Amino acid sequence: MKTILRTLAALAFGVPAMAFEADQLILKVGYSAGGGYDQSARLVADHLGRFLPGSPDVVVQNVPGAGSLKLARLFIATGQNDGSELAMIGSALGLTPVFSPDEKSFDPQAVHYLASLSNQSAFCVTSKESGITSFEQLLSSSAKLGATGKKSTTYTYGAAIKAATGSSIKIITGFEGGSEINLAMERGEIDVRCGYSFASLMRAGGQERFNILVELGAERQNLIEGTDYILDYIEEPSKREALVLVFSSNFVHYPLIAHPDTPEPTIKVLRDALKKMSTDDAFLADVAKRGQPIVFTPGEDVEVFLDTLLNGSPEVHRLARELVK
Q: Are residues 161 and 301 in the same domain?
A: no
Q: Which domain holds residue 288?
A: 2-119+249-323
229 and 185 assigned to the same domain = yes
Angstrom distance (rounded) from CA 152 to CA 135: 21
Helix (H, G, I), strand (E, B) or coil at 210: strand
At residue 19, the pLDDT reads: 80
pTM score of the predicted model: 0.86
Q: With pLDDT > 90 as the criterion, what percentage of the chain qualifies?
A: 89
CB count within 10 Å of CB 321 equals 16
Q: Taking residues 164-172, what's their average pLDDT?
A: 97
233-244 mean pLDDT: 97
Contacts of 305 (CB under 8 A, 6+ apart): 248, 251, 252, 297
Quick one: pLDDT band at residue 20, thresholds 50, 70, 90?
Answer: confident
Residue 227 has a pLDDT of 96
Instruction: Count the domains in the chain.
Output: 2
CATH number at residue 234: 3.40.190.10
Mean pLDDT, range 222-234, rounded to an integer:
96
pLDDT tens digits for range 108-127: 999 999 999 999 999 999 99
Of 217, 248, 279, the last residue of a domain is 248
67: left (phi over 0), alpha (psi -120 to 50) or beta: left
Q: Would the pLDDT of 11 be above 70?
A: no
Indicate the residue among 248, 271, 304 that finishes a domain. 248
Tell me: do 307 and 244 sit in the same domain.
Answer: no
Average pLDDT over the chain reads 93
- Domain boundary (196, 223, 248) is at 248
- For residue 12, pLDDT over 70 is answered with no
Alpha helices in the chain (DSSP H): 2-13, 36-45, 69-78, 96-99, 135-139, 153-165, 178-186, 198-203, 206-209, 237-247, 264-278, 281-290, 299-310, 314-323
> Which amino acid is residue 323, in one-letter code?
L
pLDDT band at 18 (very low <50, low <70, confident <90, very high): low
112 with 145, same domain?
no
Query: pLDDT at residue 17 above 60?
Result: no
Is the same domain home to 17 and 131?
A: no
Do 104 and 129 belong together in one domain?
A: no
Same domain, 134 and 241: yes
Check residue 9 and give its pLDDT.
Answer: 46
**111 shares its domain with 200:** no
Above pLDDT 70, what percent of the chain?
94
Question: CATH no. for residue 277?
Answer: 3.40.190.150
What is the per-residue pLDDT for 293?
Answer: 84
Kindly state whether residues 132 and 150 are assigned to the same domain: yes
Q: Does residue 6 register a pLDDT over 70?
A: no
Instruction: Mark whether 100 and 29 lie in a shared domain.
Output: yes
Is the pLDDT at 185 greater than 60? The verdict is yes
Backbone φ, ψ for residue 59 (5° rounding) = -115, 130
105 and 12 in one domain?
yes
- Indicate if 82 and 67 belong to the same structural domain: yes
- Tell whether the model's pLDDT for residue 320 goes beyond 70: yes
Is a pLDDT exceeding 60 seen at residue 153? yes
pLDDT at 291: 87
Is 4 a residue whose pLDDT tops 80?
A: no
- Nearest-angstrom CA–CA distance, 325 and 228: 24
Helix ranges (DSSP H) in 49-150 = 69-78, 96-99, 135-139
